[in-house]
Structure 1
Amino acid sequence: MTGELSPQASPSEVGYEGALRPGTLDEFIGQFKVRSQMNLLLSAATMRGVAPDHILLAGPPGLGKTTLSMIVATELDKPLHQTSGPAIQHAGDLAAVLSALTPGEVLFVDEIHRMARSAEEMLYLAMEDFKVDIMVGKGAGATSVPLELAPFTLVGATTRAGLLPNPLRDRFGFTAHLEFYSEDELASVVRRAARLLNFDISEQGIEEIAGRSRGTPRIANRLLRRVRDYSLVHETPADTASVEAALTLYDVDKHGLDRLDREVLRAVVERFNGGPVGLSTLAVSVGEEAETIESVVEPFLVRAGLLTRTPRGRVATQLGWEHVGLHK
């Protein structure tokens, strides 16, 4: 088998991530329980001729929350309006978005937990009664003017569901918790992406990518892209050897750890004798922001059984010691 690209870029080459997004629930790989629940919700709403309940998609980055929001609009045959929590910093920003929605439209708010509090409070009434109150004027002469909204479906996505206030979380009719993917599911993701990109890769190469993708489809697609580049430039078959060579070049090891992951793990083991070590101290020791360590690096190291979090700080496990080639 050889890794090759067509002489001219196909439509799938334009907008790499967008080209690989599944368009329907049937095309979506993995998350079987969530897909079944959403299929029932959307089908029932379509049969009744009403907008479905608001949907909250919760889970780590890269598991398909944005893709599922697009699928909701496609399945309902309604337009999709996309925005994000950080972009809505005032109640007026949200009022402008809501007032522009057409009947049945799907509003997708990414990172919804980062909305301004004033906008969240306005959203409560909009989600329940499809109306908002707009304040006109200032001071003693200010008046509240009710504004009726077209029925819509809000799809909120969050990586930090615990940061959502209870009144907002309770107004979602359905909450989907997305799980990390198994290696078999990731292999299916890579296989589908390779087919769409007309990239010929061996089954062993597919499995190698799946095993290093940290349970995340977005990472699997990104690694496939790097392997494709390597195969093209070096004019080698996309087999196990070239996949390993490509991923080694990009500092992705057998367990999916990248350079920063290994630096953090090695710092805990070698500089702090396995821990415990505090987050801020650990961040300074590797020259990285504490938020990056906590939100990007730690979740995978903990899930892989290489690191644990204790009240006193981070502690390397026996597997963590072995991964850096040392023993307790």
Structure 2
Amino acid sequence: MDHARNPDLDPSLPEEPFEYSLRPQRLPEYIGQEKVKARLEIALKAALGRREVLDHVLLYGPPGLGKTTLAHVLANEMNSACKVIQAPALEKKGDLAAILTNLDDGEFLFIDEIHRLAAPIEEMLYSAMEDRKLDILIGQGPSAQTLKVDLRPFTLVGATTRAGLISKPLHDRFGMVHRLDYYTREELTVIATRSSQVLGVELAPEGAGSIARRSRGTPRIVNRLLRRCRDYAEVKGDGVITSDLADACLALHEVDDLGLEGLDRAYLEALCVKFRGGPVGVRTLAAALGESDGGALEDLVEPYLMQIGFLDRTQQGRKATEAAYGYLGLKTVPNSLFS
């Protein structure tokens, strides 16, 4: 049986309209990712000082950590606009050619899920990124000719949750490559507080901490849980999101103190009980859970379980940790598991 996912805990879902209003506009407003911000700040100041465009940037990491937001922030810092496109939407070479030839000087192009670019379209990007030229084939057969089109200076920002699927030729054409990591509870508390102010919601400090604790290290989830708590506070309380009210709301949505939900718990139970702690392949786990393939588990479940120390991914397969057994309240751990 397929385990339904809580959409509020699915950071891979597109941002909802209200989430756009919560985006920071400038680098100092962007909370978290301090090392990445420090490196980007130097690159921005240097590019502005030389009156050049910013180097192409590749951002990778789990969904919901702010890759799209950071692309817009970089464009704002360079006093430029940012066009956004999903890689699967680029079906033909002409699609990419039309976008690139219409970019203004210094404009940013953000390609999300860049690992999903079709090979012919990816190859078009090589000369566009390196030489600011576009090779366009005119005609067919022996009479076909290649027309070189000069492009205006631009910055490509690529984002992916699967950095390992990006080809080396494309990877090497990015001047900067940065990984975004999960946020700390303190950073998420600040984000929840800031978002509540933007939305005009009264959020007690303890309430912000309760939401942050369950947000799986992900700002997008913070904002979605904040909205659920806002609804609950308006219906069940006096509109103020306190710690007790946030706890009650998120318990109703079956989100525990660690931010785990039904699919996470089912995954751990299958791994620890049915497969005796592993090692086991992700496709086997997916089949046991009624999931169509292992992709959803790899993207949405496993990264956070690894982050909190419940899961090890090895060459032999997935292995449960002792902490995972403790979480499930299981006293018996196979003797060979931690040898």
Partner of 2:311: 307
In the TM superposition, 1:242-321 aligns within 5 A as 242-289=245-292, 290-321=294-325
With 216-225 and 267-276 compared, the bigger mean Cα shift is at: 267-276
Give 5+ residue unaligned stretches, structure 1: 1-13
Root mean square deviation, CA, Å:
1.5
* 1:235-290 per-position Cα deviation (integer Å, ceiling 9, x unaligned): 25421211111111111101110111011111222323333333222212221132
Distance 1:180 1:45 in 2: 28
State the shift of 1:231 in Å.
0.8
Distance 2:123 2:271 in 1: 43
Q: Helix, strand or coil for the counterpart of 1:315?
A: strand
Distance 1:323 1:304 in 2: 11
Distance 1:149 1:310 in 2: 45
Partner of 2:77: 75
The one-letter code matched in structure 1 to 2:330 is L
2:244 pairs with 241, 244, 257, which one? 241
Distance 2:150 2:59 in 1: 26
2:32 pairs with 21, 25, 30, which one? 30
Partner of 1:6: none
The one-letter code matched in structure 1 to 2:88 is P
Q: Helix, strand or coil for the counterpart of 1:206?
A: helix
Distance 2:306 2:74 in 1: 33
CA contact (8 A) 1:57 1:158 kept: yes
The one-letter code matched in structure 2 to 1:320 is A
CA contact (8 A) 1:209 1:224 kept: yes
In the TM superposition, 1:44-193 aligns within 5 A as 44-193=46-195
Distance 1:164 1:66 in 2: 18
The one-letter code matched in structure 2 to 1:91 is K
State the shift of 1:149 in Å.
0.9
CA contact (8 A) 1:130 1:150 kept: yes
Identity %: 48
Distance 2:312 2:35 in 1: 29
* 1:78-122 per-position Cα deviation (integer Å, ceiling 9, x unaligned): 121111211123322211111111111111111111111111111
Distance 2:55 2:280 in 1: 45
Residue-pair matches, total: 315
Which TM-score applies when normalising by structure 1? Answer: 0.92
Q: Helix, strand or coil for the counterpart of 1:26?
A: helix
Distance 1:145 1:318 in 2: 61
Distance 2:317 2:157 in 1: 36
* 1:104-145 per-position Cα deviation (integer Å, ceiling 9, x unaligned): 111111111111111111111011111111101111111111
With 206-215 and 16-25 compared, the bigger mean Cα shift is at: 206-215
Which TM-score applies when normalising by structure 2? Answer: 0.89
Q: CA 1:36 to 1:311, structure 2 compared with 1: closer, same or farther past 3 Å?
A: closer
Distance 1:294 1:73 in 2: 31
* 1:173-218 per-position Cα deviation (integer Å, ceiling 9, x unaligned): 1112111111111111111111111111221111111111111111
The one-letter code matched in structure 1 to 2:40 is M
